[in-house]
């Protein structure tokens, strides 16, 4: 079996494109995982996730507070955001003081679940690797978490991710992915004969700020899947309020205009930049413990590809 044959399974692409697919009848996720296992790292493990009692209580208080604010104030009014900011901590403190919300009534939340991951590895120069890590929900025939990682010497840097709750995927320039495709065509790896499949897998991580790029990506992606006999449902979107800008740390994908649905927010220029669905930007919001995009590492990779 060749890598092309492994990727000709429509069940994989349907779930990869959508995260979840409402029509799960007849899908066989274990089958395509077994096909990929011949070429890629497929792992099954039991995961234990513990949320401390203090965190459980805090989330409970936050929920009570948000419900109270939404019941008392109209989210459609222009002053909703300022009222929210003014009243949140006050209301939360009131709930925290109630006898039934004391810490002694909360316990650690322990969640155990089976986790299956498949990791597609793409070679890069200077001993780096690009990893696309998919968390697979076998029972639901879904791929609810998809993470792109830059790896070297047992260190990893998150570049972008999609998941079923929130997403910050846009981390690649179209030009960069095109260069990577040409690079993989020359490398002795599983992608050597089919670098266009690697391109298609990573296309959803491109930040699109130009209509001509959108048209190119949409056309090429569907051409690649057509060669695999896959009828794709993927749709790409132009990020109208965002743009690629060259800064001292190389290119970053930032928001340049506040979206219409957020016009009522009182946000400064630096805050607007943070609104792009991308990790590839500096810490304009001065967020504590912010993990900045590995600009220097990625620049080194691309310089050696050129």
Q: What pLDDT is stored for residue 97 in this prediction?
A: 96
Question: 3-class DSSP state for residue 259?
Answer: coil
Half-sphere exposure in the Cβ direction for 146 (13 Å, CA): 22
Cα-atom radius of gyration of the chain, to the nearest Å? 22
Q: Which of 113-127, 248-262, 273-287 has the lowest mean pLDDT?
A: 248-262
Backbone dihedral region for residue 161 (phi beyond 0: left; psi -120 to 50: alpha; all else: beta): beta
Helices (H) and strands (E) in the chain, counts: 10, 8
DSSP assignment of 43-65 equals EEEEEEEEE-HHHHHHHHHHHHH
- pLDDT at residue 195 greater than cutoff 70: yes
Task: State the average pLDDT over residues 206-233.
Answer: 96
Q: Tokens at residue 85, please?
A: 């900011």
pLDDT in tens, 47-66: 788 999 999 999 999 999 98
Positive/negative CA dihedral, 21, 172, 157, 59: negative
Match 């790292």 to its residue by tokens: 41
Q: If pLDDT is split at 50, 70 and 90, which confidence band does 228 have?
A: very high
Q: What pLDDT is stored for residue 23 in this prediction?
A: 61
Q: If pLDDT is split at 50, 70 and 90, which confidence band does 22 have?
A: low
Q: What pLDDT is stored for residue 82 in this prediction?
A: 74
From residue 91, alpha-carbon distances to 97, 101, 254, 303 in Å are 10, 13, 34, 53
């Amino acid at each position: 079996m060749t890598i092309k044959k492994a990727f000709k399974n429509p069940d994989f692409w349907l779930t990869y494109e959508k995260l979840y697919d409402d029509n799960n009848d007849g899908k066989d996720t274990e089958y395509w995982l077994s096909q990929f296992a011949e070429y890629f790292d497929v792992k099954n493990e039991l995961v234990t996730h513990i949320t401390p009692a203090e965190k459980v209580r805090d989330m409970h208080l936050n929920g009570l507070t948000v419900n109270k604010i939404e019941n008392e104030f109209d989210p459609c009014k222009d002053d909703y955001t300022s009222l929210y900011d003014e009243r949140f901590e006050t209301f939360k403190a009131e709930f925290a003081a109630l006898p039934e919300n004391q810490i002694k009534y909360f316990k650690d939340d322990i969640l155990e679940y089976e986790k299956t991951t498949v990791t597609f590895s793409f070679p890069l120069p200077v001993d780096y690797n690009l990893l696309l890590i998919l968390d697979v929900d076998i029972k639901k025939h879904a791929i609810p978490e998809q993470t792109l990682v830059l790896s070297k010497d047992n260190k990893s840097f998150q570049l972008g991710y999609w998941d079923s709750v929130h997403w910050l995927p846009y981390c690649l320039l179209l030009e960069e992915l095109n260069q990577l495709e040409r690079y993989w065509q020359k490398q002795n790896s599983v992608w050597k004969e089919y670098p266009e499949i690697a391109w298609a897998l990573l296309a959803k991580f491109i930040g699109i700020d130009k209509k001509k790029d959108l048209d190119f990506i949409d056309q090429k992606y569907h051409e690649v899947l057509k060669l695999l006999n896959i009828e794709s449902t993927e749709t790409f979107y132009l990020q109208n309020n965002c743009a690629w800008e060259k800064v001292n740390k190389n290119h970053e994908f930032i928001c340049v205009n506040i979206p219409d649905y957020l016009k009522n927010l009182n946000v400064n220029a630096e805050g607007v930049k943070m609104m792009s669905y991308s990790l590839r930007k500096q810490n304009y919001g001065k967020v504590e413990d912010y993990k900045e995009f590995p600009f220097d590492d990625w620049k080194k990779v691309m310089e050696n590809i050129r």
